[in-house]
Amino acid sequence: MESLVPSHCTLCPRLCGADRTRTAGFCGGGSEVRIARAALHQWEEPCISGSRGSGAVFFSGCPLRCCFCQNREISRENFGAAITTRRLADIFLELEQQGAHNINLVSPTQYVPWILEALELARPRLSIPIVYNTGGYERVETLRMLEGAVDIYLPDLKYVDSARGKKYSGAEDYFAAASAAIEEMVRQTGPFRLGEDGLLQKGVVVRHLVLPGGRKDSAAVVEWLWQRFGCETVLLSLMSQYTPSFYQGPWKELTRPVSSYEYNQVVNRAAELGMPGYMQEKSSATADYTPSFHLEGVYPSH
């Protein structure tokens, strides 16, 4: 619907002001919602994927410019197909019918108005939690549009150091935006709540990817979360899956994998502080954990 399309887009912190009825925004998003894949996904945290998988819907485009992005094909190259909000609602219901534990909206920021309409269409028959899976670069004002519609927030917190945010993601204000966004997410959901089956029903899981040469900033991420939320409010997911083969940029420090020493230093700091959550195995640092994007589950638009 045309009414969903921003004529002066301010959905993300870029505030690019694009008239998306006529052109694409900084994120690559235009006048129609685009998705690249919709399928059961087993590679999220155990409390998200469970035994049957998370119903992951990968949206095309992204407001960040991370030079190490594993999903570059969709985040930068905008691979995907345009669909209607009615089709998006049907996809949510199909994923639930396939056994998904939740609906997992991956990189959804640029399509929040469309997603809200699709959820409204699906809601009478949709009974599983909604997960908002984001790089963390969010506007509080946009997140407030989602209050009551999202059960679980799954944001990254990539950096505290603004220089690293600018260098690696093209966003000097990354920490300022992401930290405010996480506070808003926690306000909406409250402390994390696990069901008897170990699946997350409500709450925030903050992901952090440890980068080569970045263990001090990674420790700063962990310490900020602990200082702000303590040990009983958010779950922390520390990731070791940095894969140099995806890297495109001039900085030599990112041309190698994360060492076991670097990753363990961050894990140990989280353990010292008593942060609950998940610590990824070093064996995850492989391209095998990146899904293939070939429009699985997207057909047809109607």
Domain range for 153: 34-289
Alpha-carbon distance of 264 to 194, in angstroms, equals 27
Domain count across the chain:
1
* 63 lies in some domain: yes
Is the per-residue pLDDT at 253 higher than 70?
yes
At 38-88, the pLDDT tens digits run: 999 999 999 999 999 999 999 999 999 999 999 889 998 889 999 999 999
pTM assigned to the model: 0.94
255 within domain boundaries: yes
CATH number of the domain within which 70 lies:
3.20.20.70
Neighbours of 29 (CB within 10 A): 27
Closest CA to 276 of 241, 234, 217, 239: 234
Close Cβ partners of 83 (under 8 Å, ≥ 6 residues apart): 32, 33, 34, 35, 91, 298, 301
Contacts of 253 (CB under 8 A, 6+ apart): 212, 213
The answer to whether residue 119 sits within a structural domain is yes
What is the full DSSP assignment across 242-254? --GGG--SS-GGG
Is the confidence at residue 35, as pLDDT, over 80? yes
Measured CA to CA in angstroms, residue 160 lies from 51, 176, 266 at distances of 34, 8, 14
Does 297 map to a domain?
A: no
d(CA 94, CA 2): 26
Residue 18 in domain: no
pLDDT tens digits for range 187-239:
999 999 999 999 999 999 999 999 999 999 999 999 999 999 999 999 999 99
Assess if residue 23 is contained within a domain.
no
- 109 lies in a domain? yes
Instruction: Compute the distance between CA of residue 106 and CA of residue 37 in angstroms, rounded to an integer.
Output: 10
Mean per-residue pLDDT over the chain, rounded: 93
CA distances from 247 to 169, 257, 284, 287 (A): 12, 11, 16, 12
